[in-house]
Homo-oligomer: A and B are copies of this chain.
Amino acid sequence: MGNQKLYKGSLQTIILKLLASNTKMYGYEITQKVKELTKGELKITEGALYPALHKLEADGLLDVEVAKVGNRLRKYYKLTENGTRETASKLEEMQEFLKTMQHLVNPKFGLE
């Protein structure tokens, strides 16, 4: 697991992207999916995740649907229309960011 510090600021985008690909997901599922997809590189803590989900919901980007599975509850989140738009926008910003950073830290860079 590398420098978790670098992931600061990208949590919202990660959540939105997952919901764009998976229609609906619940919190715990998101933490597991991210751990799996990143091969353990990134572990989303619950202390970060739940407040983030609540904020996205409050901002109108996510809708919640509570389900009871056995005797335990799950809160399924999915994108609203606005959420879908915002996701596209945030993904573009992310791509731009990644391109810029790649360029900045490229080992060849600055030697030209």
Copies of this chain, whole number: 2
A52 at the interface (CB under 8 A from B): no
Top 6 A-B residue pairs of the complex, sorted by shortest distance between their CB atoms: A21-B110, A8-B9, A5-B9, A3-B93, A6-B97, A2-B93
Q: What are some 20 contacts across the A-B interface (CB < 8 A)?
A: A2-B96, A3-B90, A3-B94, A3-B97, A6-B13, A6-B93, A7-B9, A7-B101, A17-B105, A17-B109, A17-B110, A21-B110, A22-B110, A37-B103, A37-B104, A38-B100, A41-B100, A42-B100, A91-B105, A98-B98
A interface, over-half SS: helix
A6 to B101, CA, bound (A): 10
